[in-house]
Chains A and B, each alone.
Chain A
Amino acid sequence: MKSGRIFYTILFIFVFTSLLIVVGVVTSLTVTSYPIFSRDGLSFIFKSTWNPVKEDYGILPALLGTLITSAIAISISTPLAISLAVFSIEIVPSKFRAFINNISDLMASLPSVIYGLWGLYVLAPILHQYVMMPLHHYLGFIPLFSTKPIPTNLFTAGVLLAIMIIPFASSVIREVYNAVPYYLKEAAYSLGMTKWEAIKTMLGYIKSAIFAGIFLALGRAMGETMAVAMVVGNTFTFPKSLFDMGYTISSLIANQFPNAEAYNYMIPALYGGALILFIVGLTINLAGLYWIKKVMIKS
């Protein structure tokens, strides 16, 4: 009885602490960003200007940049992450499985500044020469590719983010895939399914976990600062194509925070950006959860 009470007390303290942290973050974001919202109202979100000389701030281009780069990252990384997970379980001989998984986990733990430098010096020039220039040359009539690209832009940032988040999504999917009851697989094969059909069935079975892995990765993509700041081009403009340079909210914070204290409204503006990012992230996650629930109930 007594040990039970101690256990529940400790549990309560931990729950309280994590709740305290979340509420604390939201409160400090709200309190610190209050001046910019009380001065500019919602136009802070819909203006596209970043002019410290006039203390005029609006974060729309950065918000769009965040959404665009994350969308690119997710659409590239999702098929790759699923493939990697399936590959490492179903195809790779068990001798090499641990090796592949270790490599993938190592990728997840690399500091983002390393990805940033690699992205800037290696990935950006390669993408520019072999992907973006041909796309622009042959498909330039499509608005998405209409800007003549330079190596650092939204697309480069999106691809770099995709590479960074693959291991996150992949490891979640891998774990869940492994946890699928074995009799399901046996049943699939006993029905005469091919390997490909069996894999499809298994993936259908863990659909919701795949979405969970993708949302985890999305959160990381939206919040990435340093690596994106190095390759996104950092121009505060309204993006018109994937090859335009741009900004993301996180990279804006990384770029502007060091000297922000020299201004009266820049710190509130940056915190305001962070708050918006928080809200957008939360909304996407909630929408995702809702959607998963619907999908789950249906199937």
Chain B
Amino acid sequence: MKMKANTKLVLITIVVIAVLVSIFALSSWQTPTQQTTATYTATTKTTPTPTTIQLSGMINGAGATFLNPQMQAWASKFYELTGGRIQVNYQSIGSGAGQAKFREGVLDFAGSDPPLKADIYNEFKDKGGIIQFPVVIGTIVIVHNIPTVESEKLKLTGEVVAKIYLGEIIYWDDPVIKALNPELNLPHEKIIAVHRSDGSGTTRVFTAYLAKVSKNWKDKVGSDFTVAWPVDQLGNGVGGKGNEGVAAAVKQNLYSIGYVETAYAYEVGLKVALIQNRDGNYVLPTREAVESAAKALVTVLPRAYEDWSHIFPDETVDAPGKESYPITSFSFVILRQVYDDPVKVAILKEFFQWVLTEGQKDVNIVKGYEPLPPEVSMIGLEGLKLLRTT
């Protein structure tokens, strides 16, 4: 009897200790420790650019997966240019996670498809403020898989696309689509609407566009990293994980429609649809169309230190201008205004100044992205002047 009671006691103690330890571990995990990773040496050397003090060190960023290939290209080029002085690390963990880690203070900068949400922006305002600015442009195309229609022939309006994803237009030979494409042979087949299943900045921008052109979409669905797709409820929707998942679903399903990042569509060989812009023209995401959209937005865009959450992407999609491509998106970099370490401030300034000037030249832009027009680069360049130490 005594023995048994003892064993029980031991077991209970073990469980209690285990619970306590794991609660403790959990709570300490949720309050992150401040990390300072920049080990630096400030040295003066005689180099071809003698006026500046040659700083060296490392900055750490993380966030949007969309930005990742471009950021890696910039980082390695810059590493090369500075002779290994400055190392920029970027981890592609997703916009949401990047913003959260940045908020916790473990990152020097965050990359993000959407800018900071208003409440986080305000929270930072009391702590010295932040700056956020576009570093590169991306576009999203509507793709389809109708065997009888070639690429770059099908014409769609934003409203029609919204109706398809709402489940209001079900067949390809719907009178509305036929009226836009009188010369095409559209089959009487159900439209399978493919969308991203993972939370993504691409979906955020795409749904912002649908919400802007369709009031119905705005009221019923809204815009976010993931939304509740009405077309799924009819059994005509499919979710694909990542751009590759959407591309595969569009390829495998005859009579499907989908949206992917532009570079991806052309790489995989998906059929691209023309989309009507605000001025009524049917456009493709060419360099000119993207530039036109970005330039049209310059007056709308806030300063780097302001709150962007109400502007991007809800106000920036469907930009005016005869040639403008309507589903154009920026990728952002988010910085604090105040850093403890003066060297870090200098490195961040040096790197992002380069990104916004030399980095925008064609040789430094990865395929699938578009460079910023100088007017838009100015937002970041002006913003960087605000960086300071305590």
Interface residues of B (CB under 8 A from A): 14-15, 17-19, 21-23, 25-26, 65, 93-97, 99-100, 117, 192, 197-200, 221-229, 232-233, 235, 237-241, 245, 248-249, 252-253
**In the complex, which residues 85-122 of chain A have their Cβ closer than 8 Å to any Cβ of chain B?**
120-121
Q: Is the CB of B241 within 8 A of A260?
A: no
Q: Is the CB of A234 within 8 A of B99?
A: no
Q: Is the CB of B18 within 8 A of A258?
A: no
A152 to B23, CA, bound (A): 40
Determine whether A51 belongs to the interface, using a CB cutoff of 8 Å to chain B.
yes
A9 to B195, CA, bound (A): 56
Residues in chain B near residue A24, CB distance under 8 A: 18, 21-22, 25
Q: Is the CB of B252 within 8 A of A262?
A: no
CB distance from B341 to the nearest CB of A (A): 26
Task: Taking A27-B23, A121-B248, A237-B235 as given, write out 16 further A-B residue pairs in contact, using a Cβ cutoff of 8 Å, ordered by the A residue number.
Answer: A31-B23, A49-B228, A51-B228, A52-B199, A52-B224, A54-B222, A147-B235, A229-B197, A229-B241, A235-B229, A255-B198, A255-B199, A255-B239, A256-B198, A260-B199, A262-B199
Determine whether A23 belongs to the interface, using a CB cutoff of 8 Å to chain B.
yes
A296 to B368, CA, bound (A): 63
A27 to B26, CA, bound (A): 9
Residues in chain B near residue A233, CB distance under 8 A: 238-239
A125 to B253, CA, bound (A): 9
Determine whether A224 belongs to the interface, using a CB cutoff of 8 Å to chain B.
no
CB distance from B144 to the nearest CB of A (A): 15
Q: Is the CB of A259 within 8 A of B15?
A: no
A27 to B199, CA, bound (A): 27
Residues in chain B near residue A263, CB distance under 8 A: 96
Question: Mask for A203-216, Cβ within 8 A of B = 1, else 0?
Answer: 00000000000000
Residues in chain A near residue B94, CB distance under 8 A: 258-259
Residues in chain A near residue B229, CB distance under 8 A: 235
Residues in chain A near residue B93, CB distance under 8 A: 258
A27 to B226, CA, bound (A): 29
Q: Is the CB of B18 within 8 A of A23?
A: yes
16 A-B pairs with CB atoms under 8 Å apart are: A20-B17, A32-B26, A52-B226, A53-B227, A151-B253, A229-B241, A230-B245, A234-B240, A235-B229, A235-B239, A255-B199, A259-B96, A261-B96, A261-B100, A262-B95, A262-B99
The 3 closest A-B pairs by CB, nearest first: A234-B239, A234-B197, A259-B199
A114 to B249, CA, bound (A): 17
Q: Is the CB of B235 within 8 A of A51?
A: no
Residues in chain B near residue A32, CB distance under 8 A: 26
Residues in chain A near residue B233, CB distance under 8 A: 237
Determine whether A168 belongs to the interface, using a CB cutoff of 8 Å to chain B.
no
Q: Is the CB of A258 within 8 A of B19?
A: no
Determine whether A245 belongs to the interface, using a CB cutoff of 8 Å to chain B.
yes
Residues in chain A near residue B198, CB distance under 8 A: 254-256, 258-259
Q: Is the CB of B238 within 8 A of A152?
A: yes
Question: Mask for A229-254, Cβ within 8 A of B = 1, else 0?
Answer: 11001111100000011000000001
Give the residue of A23, A234, A245, A260 whose beta carbon is less than 8 angstroms from that of B96. A260
Q: Is the CB of B238 within 8 A of A23?
A: no
A229 to B196, CA, bound (A): 11
Q: Is the CB of A19 within 8 A of B15?
A: yes
CB distance from B222 to the nearest CB of A (A): 4
A225 to B285, CA, bound (A): 35
A124 to B248, CA, bound (A): 11
Q: Is the CB of B237 within 8 A of A262?
A: no
Q: Is the CB of A50 within 8 A of B238?
A: no
Give the residue of A20, A128, A229 whose beta carbon is less than 8 angstroms from that of B18. A20
Determine whether A16 belongs to the interface, using a CB cutoff of 8 Å to chain B.
yes
A212 to B22, CA, bound (A): 30
